[in-house]
Amino acid sequence: MRAFDFAVARTVPEALARGGAGTAYLAGGTTLVDLMKLEVLTPRHVVDINHLPLRGVHADRDGLHVGALERMSDVADHPLVAHPYPVISQALRASASPQLRNMASIGGNLLQRTRCGYYRDTATACNRRTPGSGCAAIGGENRGHAILGTSDACVAAHPSDLAVALVALDASVLLTGRAGTRELRLADLYRLPGETPHLEHDLRPGELIARVTVPPLDWARRSAYLKVRDRTSYEFALASAAVAVSLRGGLVRDVRVAVGGVGTRPWRLPAVEEALRGRAPRPEVVEAAAERAVAGARPLAHNAFKLTLLRRTITRALLSLTE
């Protein structure tokens, strides 16, 4: 690990004043510290933001509001989350390990870096780590990589379970920086890799996620998160599905579907949703709708199985709510 300066910020203005190029904000540290040890990330300054007043979970007419420094385990168990939004609670509980969930913050989870092994290995080519160096994953071991939203510069899958659930529910984030605050749909925070995979999101230098807001959705009580992985604990998704369904008279009145483990960012599936609205959620209808999930997919040498796995994951998640 390279040498760095360390400071503790007690207020948001103090944290923002210390932010900028060469600075990393530290909350739970469950991603940042690992990457600093590997010298994948080498910030010159680290600012501890755990004392900032970016906490709290509450609901009002505008929806559910969660402070960015709330810990994942606390949010998963909160009564304003677990019962009205089970898809969020389940996504959080499916993440990492209990020990890490006790440390990791909501904001940090949304901004965690890819788990691509080539990104973490400084001896290999990675355009996210070193722009212009190439992507070793395209011709290398790519079983866990993305099939949606990829480019010739990067095929790394987005790692966050929570982000998939929040994108399905059309959540937004409140960002705060030296120029003031702004609100952005979470789905719009993440960039596709294109030719600039090192630019992963639209946070401006020194900006912080202050809060996450989920719009009011009374039928989100009928929601679920299904994660398929190689083992049932402390493993990232090969494919996952966050779904919420509103039924009326035996027909799908509205539905939300987003998937993870297969995209370079959390991947909303409006074509699948449209195929379900107004129809009875019979298995054959759901299976036909799930076929639309892989439109435009670009499988690699070792992950073509995700085409079938993704369709089956979506189908299983939806049928678990409608049968």
Q: State whether the Cα torsion 40-107-135-142 is positive or negative.
A: positive
Q: Which tokens sit at 314?
A: 């979506």
Residue 167 within a domain = no
- Write down how long the chain is: 323
Tabulate helix, strand, coil % of the chain (nearest 5).
Answer: 30, 25, 45
Residue 20 within a domain = yes
Residue 203, Cα to own-chain centre: how many angstroms? 15
Q: What is the Cα–Cα distance from 111 to 27, expressed in whole angstroms?
A: 11
Q: What is the Cα–Cα distance from 152 to 196, expressed in whole angstroms?
A: 10
Residue 154 within a domain = no
Q: CB neighbours of 7 closer than 8 A, spacing ≥ 6? A: 18, 45, 46, 47, 48
Residue 215 within a domain = no
Q: What is the Cα–Cα distance from 307 to 276, expressed in whole angstroms?
A: 20
pLDDT value at residue 297 = 98
Domain count, the chain: 2
Q: What is the Cα–Cα distance from 35 to 37, expressed in whole angstroms?
A: 5
CATH number at residue 280: 3.30.390.50
37 by DSSP, 3-state: which? helix
pLDDT value at residue 234 = 87
pLDDT value at residue 51 = 97
Residue 191 within a domain = no
Q: Answer whether 163's CB lies under 8 Å from 74's CB.
A: no
Q: What is the Cα–Cα distance from 92 to 96, expressed in whole angstroms?
A: 9
Specify the long-range contacts of residues 274-278, CB closer than 8 Å, at least 24 apart.
276/252, 276/318, 277/252, 277/253, 278/251, 278/252, 278/253
CATH number at residue 36: 3.30.43.10
Query: Which residues constitute the domain of residue 32?
Result: 1-52
Residue 284 within a domain = yes
Burial 197-220 (b: 16+ CB within 10 A, else e): beebbebeebbbbbbbbbeebeeb
Q: What is the Cα–Cα distance from 95 to 90, expressed in whole angstroms?
A: 9
Looking at 52, 75, 93, the residue that finishes a domain is 52
pLDDT tens, residue order, the chain (323 aa): 999 999 999 999 999 999 989 999 999 999 999 999 999 999 999 999 999 999 999 999 999 999 999 999 999 999 999 999 999 999 999 999 999 999 999 999 999 999 999 999 999 999 999 999 999 999 999 999 999 999 999 999 999 999 999 999 999 999 999 999 999 999 999 999 999 999 999 999 999 999 999 999 999 999 999 999 999 888 999 999 999 999 999 999 999 999 999 999 999 999 999 999 999 999 999 999 999 999 999 999 999 999 999 999 999 999 999 98
The structure tokens 């937004």 sit at 172
Residue 278 within a domain = yes
Q: Answer whether 89's CB lies under 8 Å from 64's CB.
A: no
Structural Rg of the chain based on CA atoms: 19
Q: What is the pTM of this model?
A: 0.97
Residue 122 within a domain = no
Q: What is the Cα–Cα distance from 274 to 241, expressed in whole angstroms?
A: 16
